[in-house]
């Protein structure tokens, strides 16, 4: 059986590409880190891969807004190629800054004339937050999250607050099964800060597109693939693997079933 190939999209300021490649290697895939300029010059490079991943970081220094410049490049130069990639039944994953880029590029929620109906903006309370959180998955038809319930991963962002332009947009996303990951407390229940670390509407931590094939999430699963990456592993005992590894293995197994 041919190994699953993963394209990890690099851009100036992205700094989680090596961790993401390591996670996919642990899951049995063959990752390759490719700069966005190469993909812009030859979008057909995408044809050789089954998974496209946009890792975390601070692409283009978040100078305009987090993920905004990368999103504009994706929408302007790669929109047709990315749509075709998804239409071929392939998977797209955006982590943290990658989630911001996917959402602002309109790949998770269809864009409207004046922009996108949902975005990720400054945290509330304001400021950069860097800590571990509990998450509750509601996978639906999203392959990445199958088998998850309540799990843990770290977050590290200053613009992770998910908001919709109007209540109808949020309701449509919820009814469509696109809200697949929420911030919760240790008992698995959503609530205000600190359970919801950034003030996200509906405690949203991750969102998929209507097909389930495109997933964007603020937490970093690639930073919890080894059990020793959890800060309390010496007190809790050594588990077999970190909570995040399943997500990457799910992506690999999705194609091994073809």
SS3 readout for the chain: CCCCEEEEEECCCECCHHHHHHHHHHCCCEEEEEEHHHHHHCHHHHHHCCEEEECCECHHHHCCCCCHHHHHHHHHHCHHHHHHHHHCCCEEEEECHHHHHHHHCCCCCCCECCECCEEEECCCCCCCEEEEEEEEECCCCCHHHCCCCEEEEEEEECCCEEEECCHHHHHHHHHCCCEEEEEECCCCCCCCCCCCCCCCHHHEEEEECCCCCEEEECCCHHHCCCHHHCCCHHHHCCCCCCCCHHHHHHHHHHHHCC
Let me know if 240 is a catalytic residue: no
Pick the catalytic residue: 134, 220, 224, 230?
220
Let me know if 124 is a catalytic residue: no
Pick the catalytic residue: 16, 19, 96, 208?
96
Selection from 251, 69, 12 nearest residue 147 by Cα: 251
Selection from 213, 191, 209 nearest residue 200 by Cα: 191
Pick the catalytic residue: 16, 134, 222, 224?
222
Let me know if 208 is a catalytic residue: no
Catalytic center residues = 96, 220, 222
């Amino acid at each position: 059986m041919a190994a699953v190939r993963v394209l990890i999209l690099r851009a100036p300021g992205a700094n989680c590409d090596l961790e993401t490649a390591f996670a996919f290697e642990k899951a049995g895939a063959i990752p390759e880190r490719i700069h966005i300029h190469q993909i812009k010059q030859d979008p057909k490079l995408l044809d050789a891969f089954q998974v496209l991943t946009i890792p975390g970081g601070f692409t283009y220094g978040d100078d305009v807004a987090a993920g905004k410049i990368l999103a504009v490049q994706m929408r302007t130069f790669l929109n047709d190629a990315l749509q075709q990639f998804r239409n071929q039944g392939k998977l797209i994953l955006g982590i943290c800054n990658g989630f911001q880029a996917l959402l602002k590029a309109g790949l998770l929620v269809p864009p409207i004339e004046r922009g996108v109906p949902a975005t990720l903006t400054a945290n509330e309370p304001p400021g950069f937050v860097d800590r571990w959180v509990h998450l509750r998955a509601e996978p639906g038809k999203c392959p990445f999250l199958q088998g998850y319930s309540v799990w843990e991963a770290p977050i590290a962002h200053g613009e992770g607050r998910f908001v919709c332009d109007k209540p109808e947009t949020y309701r449509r996303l919820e009814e469509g099964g696109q809200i697949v990951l929420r911030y919760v407390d240790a008992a698995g229940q959503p609530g205000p800060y600190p359970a919801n670390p950034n003030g996200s509407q509906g405690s949203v931590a991750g969102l998929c597109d209507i097909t389930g094939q495109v997933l964007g999430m603020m937490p970093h699963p690639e930073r919890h693939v080894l059990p020793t990456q959890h800060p309390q592993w010496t007190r809790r005992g050594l588990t077999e693997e970190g909570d995040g590894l399943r997500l990457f293995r799910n992506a690999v197994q999705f194609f091994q079933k073809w």
